[in-house]
Amino acid sequence: MIDTQKFNRREVISKGLSFGLIAGGAAILGKPDFLLAKEEPARIPDLVAVKNGEPDAMFKKAIELMGGMNQFVKKGQTVVVKPNIGFPRVPEVGATTNPLLIKTLIESCYTAGAKRVYVFDNVVTATPGNARNCYKLSGIEEASKAARGIVVPIDDFSYREVKIPGGKKLKTADVHSLILDCDVFINAPVLKHHSSAHLSIAMKNLMGIVKNRMEYHLTGLDQCIADFCMYRKPDLNVVDAYRVLMSHGPSGPSNPRSANVQMKKTLLLSKDIVAIDAAAARIFGKEPEEIDYIRIAHAQKTGNMNLKELKIVTYAM
């Protein structure tokens, strides 16, 4: 038993030499982290959860724990941030993504060197007038502009049809060209109750970049939501669970005083859209398996909903 752990001299020398060569070469090439990466491949956590802070502070902490925005946004890249602005509601209703979070997110992209950051959502009931109401009431237009984000309202001409590889129900989708043409796509949904999908989180939020959303409703909402993720997964998902609308979603009441909102003050960050939906479902008080589209996406190997198998970093402020 002890013998097996012994090295013979030749092996030690050759291994030591090759390691030294690689280390030296890497150091000369200026990439010492290449070595570290080899030794610790899963340095970036699968999921980061931060709670008990304000949206801006929570995001800053979470992205720090995730290894910094530079992991996702490189110098000169164009970024699209996709919040949930689906309904003409004030932020207090919890039906739309927190504007302060969006502002911090855009700022963080620019700090990481982004050339341009676009903010876009194809609102539910997509008339120009309603889109304007949604963008303004949610506070996201103002917040984005304050951070030099380019707010893009809907129009009919900017969509291109794409094929969904492996889509069971959803074979094609008309996707907004901003998302098709950008370098980095950041999905920034809000966690809220949904009357016909139980919950609306990150995967459901992607219905706001396609034009043929009614096809989802018609052919099977849960399957289509899961299918679309086979086309393109966002490079980063940021789930806003600061104010969580617990009933009457997705729109919530128009009067914020009658909104059933819980201050969960939580923020989630992950590259894995299924994992982040699973974690958000738990925060809401549901099991991931209860939500059909999470279950389907897990089965279609889009991501992992078994939170126990993931490297999760949590932080309470």
Partner 1 sequence: MNLIRIRKVTSGIILILFILLFLGSEKLSVSLSTFLLPFQGIPALVHTVTQPEALCIIGLIFIVVTTLFFGRVYCSFLCPLGALQDLLIAGSQRFRRQPGHSFSRPLNGLRYSLLALTVATALIGSLSLVSLLDPTSLAGRIFTHFLQPLFVWTYNLGILVLKPLNIYLYPKQTAFVSLSVLAVTVVFFLLMMYLAATRGRLYCNTFCPVGTFLGLLSHISVFHFTLNQKSCSECVRCENMCKAGCIDPQTASIDMSRCVGCFNCLNACSKATIIYQRRRSQTHAHTWSPARRGFILGSVAAAAGFIAFNTNIRTFLVTHAAQANPPVTPPGSLNTKHFTQACTACSLCVSVCPTQVLTPTFMDFGVSGLLQPKMNYEKSFCEYKCNICGKVCPTGAILALSLDEKKLTQIGKAELLKDVCVVFVDHRNCGACGEVCPTHAIRFVDKENILYPEIDKQYCIGCGACQLACPTAPRSIIVHAKPIHKKAEKYFSPETAVEQKTPPDQAFPF
Under the rule (CB under 8 A), what is the footprint of partner 1? 49, 51-52, 88, 116, 124-125, 127-133, 150-153, 155, 157, 194-198, 214-215, 217-218, 220-222, 246-248, 250-251, 253-254, 257-263, 265, 279, 282-283, 290, 292, 307, 312, 314, 316
Q: How far is the CB of 294 from partner 1 (least distance, A)?
A: 13
- The residue (of 273 and 283) whose beta carbon lies closer to partner 1 is 283
Q: How far is the CB of 300 from partner 1 (least distance, A)?
A: 17
CA distance 207 to 137: 20
Q: How far is the CB of 218 from partner 1 (least distance, A)?
A: 4
Q: How far is the CB of 201 from partner 1 (least distance, A)?
A: 14
CA distance 126 to 245: 22
Residue-by-residue DSSP string for 70-129: GGT--TT-EEEEEE---SS--GGGSSS--HHHHHHHHHHHHHTT-SEEEEE---SS--HH
- The residue (of 105 and 275) whose beta carbon lies closer to partner 1 is 275
- The residue (of 70 and 125) whose beta carbon lies closer to partner 1 is 125
Rg (Cα) of the chain, in Å, rounded? 22
Sign of the CA dihedral with 254 first, then 202, 60, and 245 last = positive
The answer to whether 188 and 209 have CB atoms below 8 angstroms apart is no
Q: How far is the CB of 131 from partner 1 (least distance, A)?
A: 7
- The residue (of 109 and 131) whose beta carbon lies closer to partner 1 is 131
- The residue (of 100 and 137) whose beta carbon lies closer to partner 1 is 137
Please count the residues of the chain. 317
Which residues are within 8 A (CB) of 8 and not within 5 positions of it... i.e. 6 or more apart? none
